[in-house]
Structure 1
């Protein structure tokens, strides 16, 4: 009986922040997959093990969650003042599509170290000891990210004592700067607040009119008050992900918010754009116990935030959503800002299901139009495995 041989493709499996993904150099992909299109999507789906009606991704590298169903393609940049181009693909678990509509802030923290290890940076850009500054062009959203990667004895330093809630073991700290993070999504008008308002009344079938802050920063995000939808902001994953009605409600909010933000032309398009926008709910600080059993006290945080990714409550916080949180918190009058106590904070520490995270942003009001020059946060990254990933030769 004839059979198809497998091909092997150089790849690196990395943790970045609270996510994991398969990283490729563009030049290592099969020729048909070096350009956007069906061949690339089919290849990445097969690598990750999707679509999987069982929802487990057993026959691939995915981990059956939105945080672990991710792919990254990196190449030397042709843009001035940038070292590498970084393209992120969010792979659906149970459906045959790859969403290219946004960035992954968590995996952004691994792009710098991957680029150094993969030989994509000029040697003179990497110190023997010190901090390598990697200038990353985020190709999905057309933005610059600056990664500060520690280097020891000429090699990327991955171990250290930096602790990140949502990650079991400490590692070396990687600081990220998201430059001019307001997203220029097609149809969003290029404005940080695409509706022109800091707070809108959003009509949601089955729920009525609720207040929402809709922002393009880091990633398009819809923020609502936890109390307006029957929550406290202290919920963990099971409270949301185990409730089909809750998930349907959040998807309805997301779809109607996407329409108001100009990201889709009709509600039916939301189903094929799962990665963006994100939907999150916020609340003033309360004591709660994180998913690891760690107690988080109200006086340790500025606000509570819970966010959904790919239709499920995230176990920690997406990095891009953290940028949106920091940016919105810095603008007086947004729901995020009000939950954090108002004012114009340069940084906030928020509570998420796995613990806490600090993110900073500088917002400026220029003639009634808010802008942010950059948002800053720290993550960590580590190579988990490197070598080749194998896929059937007829799989793409």
Structure 2
């Protein structure tokens, strides 16, 4: 039997926000994988170690959670006013599937540092000390992200004292601005961040009846429901949801019905092949609880509680893109998120999630009766964990 040797591909394993992923420069990929298609998907699945019926991704770089089953491809941008093109692939853990339908807001924090360190930014743009502004084209969703990356002695500064709940160790702060984060969408309303044309909808969910829901396309398509309406308090930690198959099935039903109502799919059966989007989240009034680290979170410290699911499981903290959706919805009076935060107009919100708290700002305004958002802002951090080459069997793609 002939043996096909492994090949090695330059790669960097990075943490961005509360996620980790394998980063590639486009031109370092094998030629057949430099374009979208089956070969690229097969390569990335093998890198991560999917599909894995054991759900552990032992034979790859994945960490067996949605937060650690991620890949990024970067290249110099040919788009005017942008430095780098950023393409994100969410790799399914147990099925042969890479979802390209959305962005990863957490890994967005690592794009600027990677681009600077790997020659994708003009060296003359990088100060000896100070901040390097990197304009990123998020190719999955066609949006601009501006990263403010700290530079010390001509190199990306990774260490620092910025603390991010959900990340064990402090690091350097990276500010991200998600410009014009609302998606026009193609649902009933069209041309609006609210694809149905409503701030709150009546969503019919088999087995549950009719739920109030805010369906929003901002940062990432998200379905928000009230925690109380589905039997929760909004203070739950991962084990309360992820260890309950009935709960996970309920959330997937809500997500599928929301996707259908938002016009993201034409039939609920298509939801299974669109796992990354939309997200589903539940909100509640502020409450005291103990975060997964053991840190107490006081109701007085937050504006509301939010829990969100990603790739079928409750997220251990909060997805960056969902945080954009939360900040945007909170800024618009009348949404479920805004009402949970106390109602009224606001430009920032601090919410409680399973790992602690997060603050996100958003600038929203009403134009000709339609709500628009100019940008959402949050701080994250990023760090190189390992760099060199990733190896995969030569017949894997």
- TM-score bracket, normalised by the shorter chain, equals over 0.9
C-alpha RMSD of the superposition: 0.7
Shift in Å, 1:281: 0.1
CA contact (8 A) 1:346 1:362 kept: yes
CA contact (8 A) 2:175 2:378 kept: yes
Three-state SS of the structure 2 residue aligned to 1:248 is helix
1:361 lines up with 2:362 in the alignment: yes
Equivalence map 1:46-65=2 (5 Å): 46-65=46-65
1:172 maps to which residue?
Answer: 172
Three-state SS of the structure 2 residue aligned to 1:356 is strand
1:145 maps to which residue?
Answer: 145
Change (3 A) 1:9 1:186: farther
Shift in Å, 1:2: 1.8
Structure 1 Cα separation of the partners of residues 159 and 96 of structure 2: 37
CA contact (8 A) 2:44 2:91 kept: yes
Three-state SS of the structure 2 residue aligned to 1:105 is coil
Shift in Å, 1:90: 0.1
TM-score, scaled relative to structure 2? 0.99
Equivalence map 1:1-396=2 (5 Å): 1-185=1-185, 189-396=190-397
Three-state SS of the structure 1 residue aligned to 2:276 is coil
TM-score, scaled relative to structure 1? 0.99
Three-state SS of the structure 2 residue aligned to 1:175 is strand
Structure 2 Cα separation of the partners of residues 130 and 20 of structure 1: 26
Could you give the per-residue CA deviations for residues 300-325 of structure 1, whole angstroms, max 9, x where no partner exists?
A: 00000000000000000000000000
> Unaligned 5+ residue runs, structure 1?
none
Aligned residues: 396
Three-state SS of the structure 1 residue aligned to 2:107 is helix
Could you give the per-residue CA deviations for residues 323-358 of structure 1, whole angstroms, max 9, x where no partner exists?
A: 000000000000000000011111000000000000
Change (3 A) 1:201 1:38: same
Three-state SS of the structure 2 residue aligned to 1:67 is helix
CA contact (8 A) 1:141 1:185 kept: no
Three-state SS of the structure 2 residue aligned to 1:131 is strand
> Unaligned 5+ residue runs, structure 2?
none
Structure 2 Cα separation of the partners of residues 195 and 182 of structure 1: 14
Structure 1 Cα separation of the partners of residues 56 and 358 of structure 2: 29
CA contact (8 A) 2:186 2:195 kept: no
CA contact (8 A) 1:350 1:357 kept: yes
